[in-house]
A and B are shown apart, each in its own frame.
Chain A
Amino acid sequence: ELKVEQNPLFLSMQEGKNYTIYCNYSTTSDRLYWYRQDPGKSLESLFVLLSNGAVKQEGRLMASLDTKARLSTLHITAAVHDLSATYFCAVLGAGADGLTFGKGTHLIIQP
């Protein structure tokens, strides 16, 4: 059974700081997704990482994938309040259609 673990689950940080969210998964996969969710809203796709060593950047967010370590990171640079949200990583297991999600990281960025 594929398991996806995120840490931390809760993160409070100040504007301007850098931080990294980690996503570990338990079985072989080379397809990993990061989503953002605002309270009561849907899931917004941030990044799709499809191969080992993939790195993608959008604004202050950068995601990477290491399939050998079964680890993805979401790095936040010089955080701003607008990035406050819950961030989920999700993994597509081999041969599967459905994504397995982590529990999410609830991120609060304070002025």
Chain B
Amino acid sequence: EPEVTQTPSHQVTQMGQEVILRCVPISNHLYFYWYRQILGQKVEFLVSFYNNEISEKSEIFDDQFSVERPDGSNFTLKIRSTKLEDSAMYFCASSDNSPTEAFFGQGTRLTVV
């Protein structure tokens, strides 16, 4: 069964460092998303991406965040200068035709120390 895969599963970084979280969406999907979940809290939408550009972003997605689809398969989330409050589980998701069902990856747990 096709699935969204994310790497790494866990990343520890020092405050102020840049991190790149990677995702491989399901191959025939066209819409890509990043969400985050701070430990024990609800899942929050960050950004959606379609046709090689951002189609929607939330207030959380400020200038320290960026997304990219560098090739035909990967979808990345970059956090330029990490803060302690960026510690969370980051989920990538993809769908074939928004707004139908989005499939979520297993997540990357980011810990900023």
| A and B: bona fide binding partners | yes
CB nearest to A88 among chain B residues: B43
B87-113, CB < 8 A from A: 91, 98-107
**Chain A residues within 8 Å of B56, by CB:** 96-98
Q: Kindly state the separation between the CA atoms of A102 and B47 in the bound complex, as whole angstroms.
A: 18
Q: A48-B101, A98-B33 are in contact. Are A90 and B55 (CB under 8 A)?
A: no
Report how many residues on chain A are interfacial, defined by Cβ distance under 8 Å.
Answer: 21
Q: Give Cα A48 to B48, complex, Å.
A: 19
A103 CB contacts on chain B under 8 angstroms: 41-42
Residue B81 lies at the interface, judged by CB distance under 8 Å to chain A: no
Q: Does B75 contact A (CB under 8 A)?
A: no
Residues of A within 8 A of B50 (CB): 97
Query: Which of the residues A43, A100, A102 comes within 8 Å of B104, measured between beta carbons?
Result: A43
A97 & B99 in contact (Cβ 8 Å cutoff)? yes
Interface flag for B45 (CB, 8 Å) = yes
For A35, A48, A101, which residue has the most chain B Cβ atoms within 10 angstroms?
A101
**For residue A48, which residue of chain B has the nearest CB?**
B101
A97-B55, A97-B98 known, 11 other contacts, Cβ within 8 Å: A41-B106, A42-B106, A42-B107, A45-B103, A48-B101, A97-B50, A97-B99, A98-B46, A98-B47, A98-B58, A99-B102
**10 A-B Cβ contacts within 8 A?**
A35-B104, A42-B91, A44-B104, A92-B99, A97-B31, A97-B33, A97-B55, A97-B98, A98-B46, A101-B43
Measured CB to CB, the residues of A under 8 A from B are 31, 33, 35, 41-45, 48, 88, 90, 92, 96-104
